[in-house]
Amino acid sequence: QVRLVESGGGLVQAGGSLRLSCAASGSIFRFENMAWYRQHPGTQREWVATAAPGGTTNYAESVRGRFTISRDIDKNMVYLQMNNLKPEDTAVYYCKSPSIDIWGRGTQVTVSS
């Protein structure tokens, strides 16, 4: 069964850190770009970061320098290390391949001021 399961969210104070994990079942993800997206309450999902299988990464301007995306190809895992969190980072975070229309349930990140 092909699916994505995000974990690692929680409640943290501004300036704190969290590490999100995404377990991707199914070999189809191994050779695809993987990305993190987030959805603030009442808004559309927005792209946060992408990691290519070869290691190239890209970030949204709002998180560049604070967030780091990484992946373990052998374990089929994708990670998002989030440092210096801000209240505006509060959202549900999802991982997804941009080229495969499968979403997980996401993981809630709440940053208090």
Q: What is the pLDDT along the chain (113 residues), one digit of tens a residue?
A: 789 999 999 999 999 999 999 999 887 788 899 999 999 989 999 999 999 998 899 999 999 999 999 999 889 999 999 999 999 999 999 999 999 999 999 999 999 99
Question: Can you give the pLDDT at residue 90?
Answer: 97
CA torsion sign, 67 to 11 to 90 to 96?
Answer: positive
